[in-house]
Chain A
Amino acid sequence: MLDTTQDSVQGNEQIVNEVCMTICTVNGSGSATANNILYRALFRMGILTSGKNIFPSNIKGLPTWFVIRASARGYTGRVEYDDVVVAINPATIQKDVSYLRNGGVLFYADHLEKPEITDKEVIIYPMPIKTLMKQVDVPRNLQSYMENMLYVGIVGQVLRIPEEILKATIEHQFRSKPAVAESNFNIVKLGFQYALENIEKKDRYYLQQLPELSDYILTDGNNAGALGSLYGGLQFCAWYPITPATSLVESAIDQVGKLRKDPKTGKNTCVILQVEDELAAAGAALGAGWAGLRSMTATSGPGISLMTENIGLAYFTETPMVIWDVQRVGPSTGLPTRTAQGDLSMLYTLGHGDTKHVILIPGTVTECFEFGWRSLDIAEKYQTPIFVLSDLDLGMNAWVTKRFEYPNQPIERGKIIWEEQLEQIKDWGRYKDLDGDGIPYRTVVGNMSKKAAYFARGTGHDEYGNYSEDPKNWSDMLNRIGAKLEGVVKDLPGPIIRRAKADADIGIIGMGSTHDAMIEAQDILAEMGIQADYMRVRSLPANTEVREFIASHARNYVVELNRDGQLRQILSLEISEYSEKLISISEIGGLPLPAAWTAENIFAKEKHNGKNC
C-alpha cells in the first residue's frame, strides 16, 4: 500500500491508479476544459478521483493550478506533493517542480526554459507543443485553447488512458456540438499519437480501467445545491453575484426553464432575480417568503455581512427563507477564490440581540442536493431563516459523488393556512402558539378572509402582531421563538459517524468539505497505530448523538479550516460539560484540508498527551 505521508517513491513496481497530478497553466487560456477532460476520463475509467481548481481572483494572465488526484482506495482529499506536474506556465515552472516527489514526473512544454532540479530524481518528458501545433490549422483565437488539448493527449497516453475513453469524454463534454468535439479530439489524438511514437515510458505511474462507477456522477456542489433547490419547489431566488456562490445561482438559471414548467399551464414556476446588492437580495427573499413563496438567496461571507439585518428581521418576524453561504476566506474581502470554514460562528448567532439560527452543513455534493430541498421544507415548517453552509471547495470543484436521489418526502409547507382553515380556528393570532410546539399558524397575502391580515414588524409585538413594548410580551415572544427552534433539532440531519476498526479512545470531528480528507486521516492514524472514531457534524444546533460521541471519547480533535476553531468553540459552549474533551486542529491557508497533515498533527498531540500521562 502506498504511504501517503512519505515524500519519496521507492522501488520499481508499477504504481496503479495512485497519482496526484498538478497541471500548471495561465488563467484565461482555456485550460479548464482540457483539465476537465482529463479528470472526467479518469472517472469514466472507474477510478475514484478528485479535481481541485486552485485559481486566482483574476480573469486572464495569472497562474492557476488544477490538481487531479486518483486514488485506488478512494481517497480524494488534497495532498501536499505531486507525483506528476504538467508545466505550461513559464512564470511558475521552477516553483511548480518543487512540489514533485523524488521519483516524480514532469511534463513540460518544451518552449519553456527547462527548470533546474538538483535535489531529487525526476523523470522529464518535454512536450513539443508549439512544433506540433504547426501541423494543424487552428484559428488564431483558439490557438492557446487547442494547445491545451495537446497535453491532454500526451499526458493521457503516457499514463495509459485509453484513446477511446478520451474520445468518449470529449464527446460528452461537447455533446451539443459534435463538430467542436471532433476538432478537439483531433488535437488530442495528435498529442496521443506523438507520445505513442516518441516517448519511451520511464515512470511507474499507470492508470488502469476498473469497473464502471455506475452509482456515481461527477459534478460540483453548487450545481447540486441549485438542483436540490429546484426539486425542493423553490419559487423565488433573489441574488447578487459573488464568488464562490455565483455558479450556484447560474446553475439554477441554466436549468430552471427546463425543470420548472408548470405541468398544468406550461408557465414558469420559479423566478430568479438579480438585484442591486446583497441587502436587496435578502430583503426580496424575505418579502417573497413572507408572501408565501418558497424563497432563497445564495451568497458568500461578505454577502452575509450585508444580509445580516434582513436575516435578523426574518428571524424575529418568523419568515421562512433559505440562505446559502458558499464560504470563501475571510475576514474582509479575504481570498475570494480560496476555501475556508470561517463563517460558522458568524452564522450561528447572526444579527443583533438574541438570535440563534439553524445551519445545515453538507459534506458531499450529493448532500448539497439533499439539503437544497430539505432546507426549504425546514424553513417553512419552522418559519425561520435556514442557512446551508457550503464552501468553495465543495461548491466550485467537481467531485465524484453518489447519484442524486429523488426527495423521499413530499414538499412541506408548514402551518400556512388559507380561508377555510382560518375560519375553523377560534382565536387565531399570527404569533399565537396554538399547538404548544412554539410554531404559530401563518397566513399570507391573498388570503381573503377578513381575519387573515396581520401587521408584521421588527418591533415588539404581541401574539396578534400588534405593537407592544410590554416586558412580558417581549420575553414571551423571544422565549417562544427560542423554544420553537429547540424543536427543530429532530428534523435536522444528524452526524455521520465512521467507527475505527478497533476500540477507539479518541474521536476526530469535522464538518463540510473536509469529509474525504478526514476519512483518509482516520485511516492514516490507524496505520500509525492510533484508533480514532470519526464524526462529521451535519447541522447546528447539535443533537444528542453529537453529545454522546464527544462524551464517549477521552479526547476529540475538532478539525476545521479556520483560525480559531469555531466548531470547537460552539460545541464547547453547547456541550460545556465535555468542553475539556475538545481539542482544536485548525488550518487557514485557503486550501482544502490535507489528510496527512491532519493525521500528523493529531499524532503529535497524542504523543505529547501520552508523555504527560
Chain B
Amino acid sequence: MEKTVELNRLGLALADYKGKPSTLCPGCGHNAIANQIQAAIWELGLAPEKVMKLSGIGCSSKSPNYFLNRSFGFNGLHGRMPTLATGASFGDSSIKILGISGDGDTASIGMGHFKHVIRRNVPMVYIIENNGCYGLTKGQFSATSDQGLVLKHQGVNLLPPLDLCMEALISGASFVARTFSGDVKQMKELIKAAISQTGIAVIDVISPCVTFNNRDDALQSYSWGREHEAPIQGITFFSSREDMQLENFEEGTYREIELPDGSYIVLKKIEKDYDPTDLNAALDLLTESYKYHYFATGLIYFSEVPPAIQEQYDLPAEPFNRLTPDRLRPSQESLEAINVSLF
C-alpha cells in the first residue's frame, strides 16, 4: 500500500521544510533543534518562504543550513547576527526571523549585540544552542561553561557561568524560555509560541556537545540534563482558541496565555505554581536553579509585547523592499527649496 504523506494547511509536506544533510557530529544536540524547528514551522503552517534564518559563527550557526532550504539564510559573523537581524528585519517585516546562535556567539563575542537587539525589540526568535563550550575550535570553555568544568586541553574552568536567560530578562525581553535538546516535545511547543510572538523571543536551548562536553557531571550534558531537568510547567501550543482542547486539563491546574497573533499556550502546573508573568519570580527561579543544581525548563517569562522596532517608524504597510524608486526620491521642487534656503 502506498504511504500517504501528511500535509499541513498550506498543502506542504514536512519534506518541504527540510534542509541540507547535517554535517554536525552524530548525536549533536543541535540536530534535534533543527528537527524541531522544521517540525514546528510545518505544523504552524507557515510557508518556508515566510521565514529567514540568520546566524553567527560556530557549530550552532552552521545549523540553519540543515533546515528550511526554501528560506533565505545568512550565515554572518561571529557574534554579529543580532546586528544583521536588525537591518534585515526592515526588508520585509512579514518575514519571520529565526536567529540561531551559540553560547560563544552570544555570551562572549556578541553579548553586547544580544542585549541591544533585545532592547530594540527586533521582532525575531533568538535561539541559543547552548552547549557550554566551543565546539568548532575543538573544546574550549565558553562563558556558559560551569565553574569547575574540566575539559581535555583546558584543565579546570575557574570562572562562573553567565546565564543567558537572566541577561535576556534584565535586557527587557518579553518572552524568555529555556529548554533542552533531550526534551523535544517541550522544545517544539516553545518554538511555536516564540514564532507567534511579535517582538523578540529568546530561547536558551541546552544542547549537548557530544564530542567535547558531554561528561555525565557537565552542566550541559545529556545525562546531567535528563537527571536534573525540572520543567516549571507543561506546555501545549494551540494555533487558535477554537483549536484549544481544554478537556485534557483539570480545573485550576493550568493557565492559558494568548499570544499576539491569536494563538494560545496552555501552561500546566507542575508541583509549585509558577507565574511566568512575574519578573522577580523568573529571576529567583534562575538564581535558585543554579544554586541548587536543578535544571529549570519551560516558559520562564512572558509579558505584554512592547512595540517592535518597525512600529516606531510609521512605515508603509507593504514590504519596505518592494517600494518602487518613484516613492524613494523627493521631488525636484523640494530640492529647489533647499537651494533657496541655503543661500
Contact = CB atoms under 8 A, between A and B. Distances in A.
B322 A446 contact: yes
16 contacts: A233-B329, A236-B87, A258-B334, A268-B314, A271-B315, A273-B309, A279-B83, A286-B76, A287-B54, A446-B322, A453-B69, A455-B73, A455-B75, A457-B74, A458-B77, A466-B20
A406 interface: yes
Interface in A443-463: 443-450, 452-459
B137 to A, nearest CB: 15
B321 A446 contact: yes
Contacts of B339: 217, 403-404
Given A217-B343, A265-B316, A288-B91, A238 B86 contact: yes
Given A280-B86, A286-B76, A450-B49, 7 more contacts: A238-B87, A260-B328, A264-B327, A279-B83, A283-B86, A411-B329, A455-B72
A227 B339 CA distance: 11
Nearest to B322: A446
Contact of B90 (A231, A277, A288, A455): A288
Contact of B328 (A235, A267, A285, A403): A235
B334 A287 contact: no
B325 A413 contact: yes
A229 B112 CA distance: 29
A566 interface: no
Nearest to B119: A276
Contacts of A263: 326-327
Interface string A205-231: 000000000001111000000010011
Contacts, number: 213
Given A265-B316, A271-B313, A287-B74, A293 B321 contact: yes
Interface in B77-118: 77, 80, 82-92, 94-95, 112-113, 116
Question: Which range holds the interface residue count of chain A?
Answer: 35 or more
Interface string B154-188: 00000000000000000000000000000000000
B330 A260 contact: yes
Interface string A271-298: 1010111011111111111111111000
The CB with the most chain B CB atoms within 10 A, among A219, A292, A449, is that of A292
B294 to A, nearest CB: 34
A445 B116 contact: no
B315 A445 contact: no
B52 A445 contact: yes
The CB with the most chain B CB atoms within 10 A, among A264, A284, A411, is that of A284
B87 A276 contact: no
B215 interface: no
A459 B313 contact: no
A269 B323 contact: yes
B95 A287 contact: no
A147 B123 CA distance: 52
B116 A276 contact: yes
A309 B77 contact: yes
Contacts of B20: 466
Interface string B113-147: 10010001000000000000000000000000000
A457 B75 contact: yes
Nearest to A413: B325
Nearest to B109: A279
A446 B327 contact: no
Contacts of A238: 83, 86-87
A529 interface: no
Contacts of B116: 275-276, 280
A597 interface: no
Interface string B287-324: 00000000000000000000001000111110111110
Given A231-B330, A309-B77, A445-B52, A410 B325 contact: yes
Contacts of B47: 448
A455 B88 contact: no
Contact of B88 (A216, A231, A290): A290
B201 to A, nearest CB: 19
A299 interface: no
B49 A448 contact: yes
Interface string A225-248: 001001111111010000000000
A264 B313 CA distance: 16
A262 interface: yes
A194 interface: no
A334 interface: no
10 closest A-B pairs by CB: A291-B91, A283-B83, A287-B87, A292-B321, A446-B92, A233-B328, A288-B87, A411-B325, A284-B87, A217-B342
B71 interface: yes
A452 B72 CA distance: 8
Given A265-B316, A275-B86, A459 B77 contact: no
A310 interface: yes
A313 interface: yes
B327 A295 contact: no
A283 B84 contact: yes
A408 B75 CA distance: 38
Contacts of B73: 453-457
B91 A292 contact: yes
A202 B315 CA distance: 63
B143 to A, nearest CB: 18
A259 interface: yes
B5 interface: no
A407 interface: yes
A269 B83 contact: no
A291 B90 contact: yes
A145 interface: no
A603 interface: no
B65 A313 contact: no
B101 to A, nearest CB: 13
Contacts of B64: 455
B328 A288 contact: no
Nearest to B328: A233
A286 B84 contact: yes
B338 interface: yes
Nearest to B334: A259
A367 to B, nearest CB: 15
A273 B86 CA distance: 10
A444 B319 CA distance: 11
Nearest to A219: B342
Given A283-B84, A452-B49, A218 B342 contact: yes
A283 B325 contact: no
B91 A293 contact: yes
A467 interface: yes
B85 A287 contact: yes
A238 B31 CA distance: 35
A286 B49 contact: no
A231 B86 contact: no
A233 B87 contact: no
Contacts of A404: 335, 338-339
A467 B315 CA distance: 36
Contact of A279 (B80, B315, B317): B80
B4 interface: no
A293 B314 CA distance: 16
A536 B49 CA distance: 49
Given A268-B314, A446-B322, A276 B112 contact: yes
B248 interface: no
Contacts of B120: 275
B88 A288 contact: yes
Contacts of B245: none
B87 A411 contact: no
A287 B309 CA distance: 15
The CB with the most chain B CB atoms within 10 A, among A276, A285, A287, A457, is that of A287
A494 to B, nearest CB: 25
